[in-house]
């Protein structure tokens, strides 16, 4: 299959390109498209055969459900049986945006979308290209991240092509995504609203609207997670990522020690640094691959850069990637969750 590259402007996407992509979706094909979080791989959510193609193209396990994307709030009604408590408030505050709600699934939504669960995850993205595509296609679009299963999520059109060229019909390429990590997934079908996956909307923001919001136990411990996708190794680069946690000074010292050790073993070592330590690493270690993820206190900057940085480490064929850690507040919770999932080892100093 030849994957068609459709380059569009991020703010005012050309209608003829949206039409072309929407036609592919309506015919049961696959189109990757940008959202404010990461690129998604979309199919008509109500077409079982089309949705099945997503799993094949990505190599995604069948028990990992997809998120259904809509363009208008009212479209949620056709996907669900009823609106649970708290749903309206969250939709009003955070849609369109990086918040996915797990809701009771209407039988109209094919089982394959939800991996057989009685629930369905729904999101309304804010990216003009995503919104435009859904509107023109005039169907809800099921879309997981547009990467090969297990690899870092794509935040540019070229990331998508690297993973999926030849396996999907088209890519709408509108350049880099804003947020850079996936949406927050909140389950509203239990006793209390529960965050199954931290993401672009923070726990602090959710609590400001709903008061009590739980965090799935699996996110802190080793209990098995309720968002089926969260149990898989994710976001993993080819090299072994080692995440170093602790006080900033201790982290920098440990990274220097590990850097020397692995270099002596003849391995190619990359360093993911906070802005504060870039100069020091450059002076002391001078690694061939040194990427700044931004200031330690600004996790949203690091979140935006993370997947691109992991992919750059792969491109540079790093055997080992040493990464600093960030504060777990705000988007830092999602950032650290992704770093931990990408990491082969975690070291606390
Ligand atoms: P992705 O779009 O690739 O980021 O993956 C979607 C994420 O949403 C995965 O972690 C899924 O496990 C989660 N998800 C999708 N549908 C549901 C659902 N019905 N219940 C719980 N989690 C879900
Ligand atoms: Mg994904």
Nearest CA-CA partner of 208 in 29, 52, 28, 330: 330
Whether 4-215 shares its CATH topology with 240-348 is answered no
**228 pLDDT more than 90:** no
Q: Which helix (H) or strand (E) holds 31?
A: strand 31-34
Mean pLDDT of 56-76: 97
* C-alpha to C-alpha distances, 111 to 49, 120, 252, nearest whole angstrom: 11, 9, 48
pLDDT of residue 58: 98
Per-residue pLDDT tens over the stretch 318-344: 999 999 999 899 999 999 999 999 999
- The alpha carbon of 206 and the centre of ligand 2 are apart by a number of angstroms equal to 22
* Secondary structure (3-state) at 261: helix
Ligand 1 contacts CB of residue 121 (under 6 A):
yes
Architecture of domain 240-348: 3-Layer(aba) Sandwich (3.40)
How remote is the CA of residue 266 from the centroid of ligand 2, in Å? 33
Paired strand residues for 102: 121, 187
What three-state secondary structure class fits 139?
coil
Q: Report H helices in 80-210.
A: 87-94, 128-137, 157-164, 203-210
- In this prediction, residue 223 carries a pLDDT of 63
Q: Does residue 160's CB lie within 6 angstroms of at least one atom of ligand 1?
A: no
Q: What does DSSP assign to residue 109? A: S
Sign of CA dihedral 197, 191, 124, 148: positive
* Total number of residues shown for the chain: 349
Q: Does residue 65 line the site of ligand 1, with CB under 6 A?
A: yes
Centre of ligand 1 from the C-alpha of residue 10, in Å: 26
Joined together, the tokens standing for residue 295 give: 């200031």
Q: 233 CA to middle of ligand 1, Å? A: 14
Say how many Å lie between the CA of residue 303 and the centre of ligand 2: 15
Q: Residue 222 above 60 pLDDT? A: no
Report which ligand 1 atom has the smallest distance to the Cα of 226.
21
Query: What CATH number belongs to 4-215?
Result: 3.90.870.10
Residue 209's alpha-carbon distances to 60, 91, 275, in angstroms, are 34, 11, 33
- Tokens 């080892």 belong to 345
Cβ pair 73, 95 in contact under 8 A: yes
Condensed to tens digits (0 to 9), the pLDDT of residues 87-100 reads 999 999 999 999 99
Q: Which of 227, 233, 236, 334 to mutate to test the pocket of ligand 1 (most atoms within 8 A of CB)?
A: 227
Q: Where are the domains of the chain?
A: 4-215, 240-348
Residue with tokens 């690899």: 151
Question: Measured in whole angstroms, how far is the alpha carbon of residue 268 from the centre of its chain?
Answer: 27
Q: Quickly list DSSP for 40-99.
A: EEEEETT-HHHHHHHHHHHT--TTS--EEE-SSGGGGGGGBS---TTHHHHHHHH-SSSE
To the nearest whole percent, how much of the chain has pLDDT over 90?
93
Q: pLDDT category, 121, cuts 50, 70, 90?
A: very high
How does strand 39-44 pair with strand 67-69? unpaired
Contact (CB, 8 A) for 3 and 168: yes
């Amino acid at each position: 299959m030849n994957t068609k590259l459709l380059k569009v402007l991020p703010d005012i996407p050309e209608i003829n390109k949206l039409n072309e992509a929407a036609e592919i979706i309506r015919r049961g094909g696959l189109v990757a498209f940008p959202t404010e979080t990461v690129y998604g791989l979309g199919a008509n959510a109500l077409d079982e055969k089309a949705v099945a193609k997503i799993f094949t193209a990505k190599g995604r396990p069948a028990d990992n459900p997809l998120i259904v994307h809509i363009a208008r709030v009212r479209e949620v009604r056709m996907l669900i049986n009823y609106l649970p408590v708290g749903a309206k408030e969250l939709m009003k505050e955070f849609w369109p945006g990086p918040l996915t709600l797990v809701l009771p699934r209407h039988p109209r939504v094919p089982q394959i979308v939800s991996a057989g669960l009685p629930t369905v995850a729904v999101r309304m993205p804010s990216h003009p290209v995503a919104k435009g595509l859904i509107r023109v296609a005039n169907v809800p679009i099921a879309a997981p991240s547009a990467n090969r299963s297990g690899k870092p999520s794509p935040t540019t059109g070229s990331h998508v092509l690297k993973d999926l060229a030849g396996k999907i019909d088209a890519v709408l390429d509108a350049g880099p995504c804003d947020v850079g990590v996936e949406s927050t997934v909140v389950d509203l079908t239990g006793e209390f609203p529960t965050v199954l996956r931290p993401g672009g909307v923070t726990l602090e923001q959710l609590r400001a609207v709903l008061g009590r919001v739980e965090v799935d136990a699996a996110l802190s411990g080793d209990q098995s997670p309720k968002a089926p996708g969260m149990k898989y190794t994710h976001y993993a680069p080819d090299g072994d990522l080692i995440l170093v946690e602790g006080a900033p000074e201790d982290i920098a010292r440990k990274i220097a020690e590990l850097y020397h050790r692995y270099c002596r073993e003849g391995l190619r070592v990359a360093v993911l640094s906070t802005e504060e330590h870039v100069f020091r690493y450059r002076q002391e270690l001078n690694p061939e691959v040194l990427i700044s993820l931004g200031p330690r206190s600004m996790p949203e900057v690091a979140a935006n850069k993370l997947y691109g940085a992991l992919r750059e480490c792969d491109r540079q064929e790093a055997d080992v990637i040493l990464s600093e850690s960030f504060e777990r507040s705000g988007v830092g919770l999602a950032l650290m969750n992704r770093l931990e999932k990408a990491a082969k080892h975690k070291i606390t100093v």
